[in-house]
Amino acid sequence: MTPLVLFLLVSFIEVEPIWRLEGETRFAPKPQEMQQNPRYPWEEEETTPFKRITKEHFRCKGNALNPPHIVEQNGEVVYHYDCGGVGKHSLPIRDGKEFIYPLLLDLLNHVQESFGKKVIITSGHRCLDHNTFVDASYRNHTSKHTIGAEAAFYVQGMEEEPLQVIQCLMEYFPKSPFQRYEKGDVDVSTLPWYNREIYIKLYKPHEGRNIDHRHPYPYISLQIRYDTHLNERVLFVWDQAVKGYHRY
């Protein structure tokens, strides 16, 4: 291309200048802010003396090394063997996943955060074998521990103040008032508390002792009464207790 042709081409192109005021923008970008990475549930503030309660805390405390309980039933000698524990079976299964009623986790985390103290779960899920092993009584056959709907615990550092802990549990339900359970068919001397969703029992130091509760403190037992997700009452179901978890 000769310089002449180039000159002719360029002279045909009309360039309009763009005029803007200083600082003029159509879409002003927001100033940038440093973002914290979201925390994983197992990442804790360094100051908290406790870990967040998850369903992992509920694993069956059975141990195959526990010697069998030998009992007499209707004139026959019966052996109750403990289960093999966490290595031998899962938590209860719902929708293909290990499941503990979320309300139990929420309540126990609420207690931990309210007091800044650690919740010690002494009995979470119990498979049927372990449930019978800890307590072979007729009443305990239908324990909700077997379906992941019950937890027994105390609070470290508040061992002697279980009533304060129960007060804290009740405060979790500002809209659902509690009543006392007065029917008397219970294994505790303190009248239990209940509302629509939960049933709370207090075990004194001489009450409700078994291999899951080998400590000298009072403890609190929580039972789920109502499943707000499925909108139905939570009852012990034999089939669920027997077949509701995986065995390895």
Residues found near Zn ion in the complex (CB under 5 A): 60, 62, 83, 127, 130, 152, 221
CB of 37 to Zn ion, least distance (A): 37
Question: Do the beta carbons of residue 85 and residue 63 sit within 8 Å?
Answer: yes
List, as one string, the DSSP characters of 135-156. --STGGGG-GGGGT-EEEEEET
Nearer to Zn ion, 118 or 145 (CB): 145
CB of 220 vs Zn ion, minimal distance in Å = 10
Question: Which CB sits closer to Zn ion, 21 or 65?
Answer: 65
Of 160 and 187, CB closest to Zn ion: 187
What is the distance between the alpha carbons of residues 238 and 215, in angstroms, rounded to a whole number?
30
CB of 230 to Zn ion, least distance (A): 22
Residue closer to Zn ion, measured from CB, 152 or 224: 152
Distance CA 183, CA 201 (A): 13
DSSP state string for 226-245: EETTTTEE----HHHHHHSE
- Burial of residue 145, with CB atoms counted within 10 A of its CB: 0-12 exposed, 13-18 middle, 19 or more buried: buried
Cβ–Cβ < 8 Å for 197, 175: no
Nearer to Zn ion, 62 or 148 (CB): 62
